[in-house]
Amino acid sequence: MRSLFVVFAVFCVVLGDNENAQLLASKTILNQYAVENKDLTVEYQIYNIGGSAAIDTQLVDKSFPESDFEVVHGNLEVTWQRIGPGYNVSHVVILRPKKSGYFNFTSAEISYLPSETAKEPQLGYTSAPGEGGIVSFKDYDRKFSSHVLDWSAFAVMTLPSLGIPFLLWRSSKTKYEGIKAAKKAA
Amino acid sequence: MEKIMRILFLLICTTLWTLSSGDTCVNPVVKSEVYTTTETQMSTQTVVIVDFELTCSNKPQDLHLYAEFNGRTVPASKTTNSNKYQVSFTGEHKKLPGGHYVVRFFDDDLYSELRKAQRSSDDTSSVKTLFNINVSHQGASAGPWVSTEHVAALAAILVWYLAYTTRSQLQS
């Protein structure tokens, strides 16, 4: 009974003593397939589980080098002036991988002031999606494109083997029917 | 005496009013760029990204912007270098079909009016906005309806069927 009370007291202290802002940040790649030269959707989500607003929250992602990724939409360095307690924000950036192969997706950094009166910013990291493969465009296209041109070429190639017997039959049929009609008329 | 009191009262009121709210934007001019998900394979959720640059004739120092999209309100993020802002929204593909959407933007005062309307369950679409940005979403596609190999297979079966029926007719 007493131990239960102690556990409960500790639990209350841990939960109740959250006067400051506390941010949890995640970073996820929303793609089913990461393909070279196609859009790569990166989503960052920041949750404020603390008791007060987080001021000047800065999200900086330096893990995508210019040589390997091109930023198509969105920004990799942004600031939110205020994230209220219990609120969450999401941030999405669209990148385009310039090379295929394995890439280790690492964390982005966040910094924020835990309260209006705080002087020192609190630093943290987002979660990291881990290592992923970027499929080359050739392989992706071979598997997923609609291949209309290939099928049309196939149709054109089957035309002789179907067309020639058909035309032969057609010509002999019309000739035969012509003879038959002439015989009947005579 | 009464006149001095009145002037003092007005002075205090205006000071309190300017201190209490963030800056507002006069004559907002917006240059925006919108991105929405086009292929479901490139994103398991439909995302809407609105990048915009805002210029106000009064050049406010401390402007807080909030964006509302499909019932969800978020604070706008500012890029570290310039007066460019970004807001992003995500949602399931089914819940964000293709069509026209509007993202509404509020400053501090208008945002508190929006919150008031939300709390008293009033119609939030009647709250005045600072400016709106239109989003035209073409819909996230999962590929063509009928894949080409199915079309090719159907065409082959059709040709075979025609040949077979003709042959049966001739042989009968």
Task: Calculate mean pLDDT across residues B38-43.
Answer: 89
Residue B39: DSSP 8-state:
B
pLDDT at site B83: 81
B90 → closest Cβ in A80, A92, A151? A92
pLDDT above 50: residue B20: no
Which amino acid would we find at residue A143? K
On chain B, the residues whose CB falls within 8 A of the CB of A41 are 37, 42-43, 47
Residue A90 above 70 pLDDT?
yes
Min mean pLDDT across A5-14, B58-67, B135-144 is at A5-14
pLDDT classification of A145: cutoffs 50, 70, 90: confident
- ipTM of the complex as predicted: 0.78
CB within 8 Å: A72 and B35? yes
Asked if residues B93 and B40 have their Cβ atoms less than 8 Å apart, the reply is: yes
Contact across the interface for A35 and B79, Cβ inside 8 Å: no
Helix A148-185 × helix B148-171 angle, to 10° = 20
Q: Is the distance from CB of B110 to CB of B72 less than 8 angstroms? A: no
Cross-chain CB nearest to A90 (options B43, B84, B88): B88
Are B42 and A154 a contacting pair at CB < 8 A? no
Backbone angles phi, psi at A32, to 5 degrees: -80, -40
Distance of residue A17 Cα from the nearest chain B Cα, in angstroms: 26
Q: What is the pLDDT of residue B61?
A: 80
Strand, coil or helix: B162: helix
pLDDT at A14: 53
Give the integer Cα–Cα distance in Å for B147 and B130.
46
Contact A142/B at CB under 8 A: no
Minimal Cα distance from B72: which residue of A? A89
Measured between CB atoms, which of B35, B49, B80 is closest to A77? B80
Exposure string over B146-164, b if 16+ CB within 10 A, otherwise e: eebeeebeeeeeeeeeeee
How far apart are the C-alpha atoms of B6 and B14, rounded to whole Å?
12
Mean pLDDT of all residues in A157-185: 90
Alpha carbons B147 and A6: distance in angstroms, whole number: 64
B85-128 residue pLDDT tens? 999 999 999 999 999 999 999 999 999 999 898 888 878 788 88
CB of B43 closer than 8 Å to CB of A39: yes
Q: Is A31 on the interface with B (CB under 8 A)?
A: yes
* A81 vs B38, B75, B143: nearest CB: B75
Q: Which residues contact B70 (CB under 8 A, 6 or more apart)?
A: B89, B91, B96, B101
Residue A43 three-state SS: strand
Considering only CB atoms, A148 lies closest to which of B40, B80, B148, namely: B148
Look at A30-34, A138-142, B81-85, B160-164 and tell me which has the smallest mean pLDDT.
B81-85
pLDDT of residue B9: 74
Instruction: Collect all residues with Cβ–Cβ distance below 8 Å to A39 and sequence separation of at least 6.
Output: A31, A72, A94, A95, A96, B38, B39, B42, B43
pLDDT(A109) > 90 = yes
Q: What pLDDT is attached to residue A12? A: 53
Interval A32-38 mean pLDDT: 93
Q: How far apart are CA A175 and CA B155, in angstroms?
A: 30
Instruction: Pull the structure tokens for residue B88.
Output: 């992003």
Task: Please answer yes or no on whether B43 and A83 come within 8 Å at the CB atom.
Answer: no
Beta strand spans in A19-146 (E) = 23-29, 34-35, 40-48, 54-60, 69-73, 77-83, 88-97, 101-105, 109-113, 122-125, 130-135
Closest listed residue to residue B45, CA positions, set B99, B100, B95 = B95
Please state the rounded mean pLDDT for residues B14-37: 77
Q: What is the pTM of this model?
A: 0.80
Q: What's the CA gap between A42 and B14, in Å, rounded? A: 45
Nearest-angstrom CA–CA distance, A169 and A116 = 91
Chain B residues in contact with A92 by the CB 8 A cut-off are 47, 49, 88, 90
**Is pLDDT above 70 for B143?**
yes
